[in-house]
């Protein structure tokens, strides 16, 4: 359930809580919202591009003030309207990996970020680092997985990180 109201902590606390998860949309930038959950509040930006909903978490409300959230949201919206300015088709996985970690770090706990960085540097970048993102296919991922057969748990966790990275990169390429 979405509600339109002033984006302040007092306004968010005064709202009736219809369920565990809801969004209070900003008056100044309609695609920016304060997502309120039981345990935390985060800034999100959501819009539709070519019939698909695009949503990104910007970070915790306690760490990012509304003015900064508006700037970040507008930058993301600008990326969506002009994707060629952000990522070219010749971007390698190594070039995109650091940006991926920076963009998504606001939605992960510090230990998760550390684990994702470890999977990238230890398992993913040695195999895919110099490869173009647009050129990585299912067969390449299967070959990579076969090479990690002796590390079943690590392989599965690294696959989840690679999958997330590729999903986000596909929005930009």
Q: Which residues contact 129 (CB under 8 A, 6 or more apart)?
A: 92, 93, 94, 97
Residue 87 lies in a domain: no
| Residue-range definition of the domain harbouring residue 7 | 2-81
Residues 74 and 124 in one domain: no
Residues 15 and 51 in one domain: yes
Q: What pLDDT sits at residue 115?
A: 94
Please check the confidence at residue 19 and state whether its pLDDT lies above 90: no
Q: What pLDDT sits at residue 86?
A: 46
Q: Indicate the number of domains in the chain.
A: 2
Residue 86 lies in a domain: no
Q: What pLDDT sits at residue 66?
A: 86
pTM over 0.85: no
Residues 71 and 126 in one domain: no
| CATH code: domain of residue 27 | 3.30.160.390
């Amino acid at each position: 359930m979405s509600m339109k109201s002033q984006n302040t902590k007092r306004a968010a606390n005064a709202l009736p809580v219809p369920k565990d998860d809801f969004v209070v949309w900003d008056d100044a930038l309609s695609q920016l919202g304060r997502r309120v959950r039981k345990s935390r509040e985060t800034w999100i930006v959501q819009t539709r591009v070519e019939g698909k909903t695009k949503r990104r978490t910007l970070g915790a409300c306690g760490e990012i003030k509304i003015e900064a959230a508006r700037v970040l949201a507008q930058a993301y919206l600008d990326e969506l309207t002009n994707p060629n300015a952000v990522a070219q088709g010749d971007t390698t996985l190594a070039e995109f990996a650091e940006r991926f970690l920076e963009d998504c770090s606001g939605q992960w706990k510090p230990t998760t970020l550390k684990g994702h960085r470890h999977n990238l540097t230890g398992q993913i970048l040695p195999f895919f680092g110099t490869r173009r993102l647009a050129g990585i296919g299912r067969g390449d991922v299967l070959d990579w997985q076969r090479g990690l057969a002796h590390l079943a748990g690590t392989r599965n966790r690294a696959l989840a990180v690679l999958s997330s990275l590729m999903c986000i990169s596909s929005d930009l390429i």
